[in-house]
Amino acid sequence: MVLWSYNTTPRSTTGESPFMLTYGYEAIIPVKVGAGSLRRDLFIEEDVEVNQRLHFDLLDEARRNSQLKLAAYQQRIARYFNKNVKSIPYKVGDLILRKVMPNTKIAQHGVLGANWEGPYKIKVILLKGTYRLEDLNDKPIPRAWNAGHLRKYYQ
């Protein structure tokens, strides 16, 4: 019942249900089958084949429209996310602190343990917001780090 409900509920991103995008028409809910509905009462067996062909012809258009709605939705979400991002550009040689990750956190310290470790120097800028680090003794840190996990170190 849950799967049926999921497949017949229109999505806010596309405006269509997965059932509609698959079969070309909306499903009749079980309550309407038992209680009766205008759609069921006016059902004519001979018109089924003609109506199915018509719905299948319109299905490609419905799928294209849902793709356009989905693309517009993704652009709105990206705009909303990007307007709240504040980029802090670091330069090679800047001293920074690195966020302590759960796998490197010292368990004995508990919740009062340090949240940041370092300082480290920025060795290489790979991409915008991605950096290779080294410690103060010029020993490289093994992997690249995202700017979201770094913080400027002030002496």
The 3 state secondary structure assigned to 11-42 is: CCCCCCCHHHHHHCCCCCCHHHHHHCCHHHHC
DSSP three-state, residue 79: helix
33-59 tens-digit pLDDT: 666 666 666 767 777 777 777 777 788
CA 122 to CA 29: how far, in whole Å? 60
CA 126 to CA 150: how far, in whole Å? 15
Whole-number mean pLDDT of the chain?
83
CB 95 within 8 A of CB 60: no
CATH of 95-152, one of 2.60.120, 2.60.40, 3.30.70, 2.30.30: 2.30.30
Least confident of 34-38, 88-92, 93-97, 134-138: 34-38
pLDDT band (50, 70, 90) for residue 27: confident
101-109: average pLDDT: 77
Q: Count CB neighbours of 5 within 10 A.
A: 9
Least confident of 34-38, 41-45, 112-116, 123-127: 34-38
This prediction has a pTM of 0.49
Q: Count CB neighbours of 118 within 10 A.
A: 19
Contacts of 62 (CB under 8 A, 6+ apart): 16, 20, 21, 24
The residues spanned by each domain of the chain are: 2-84, 95-152
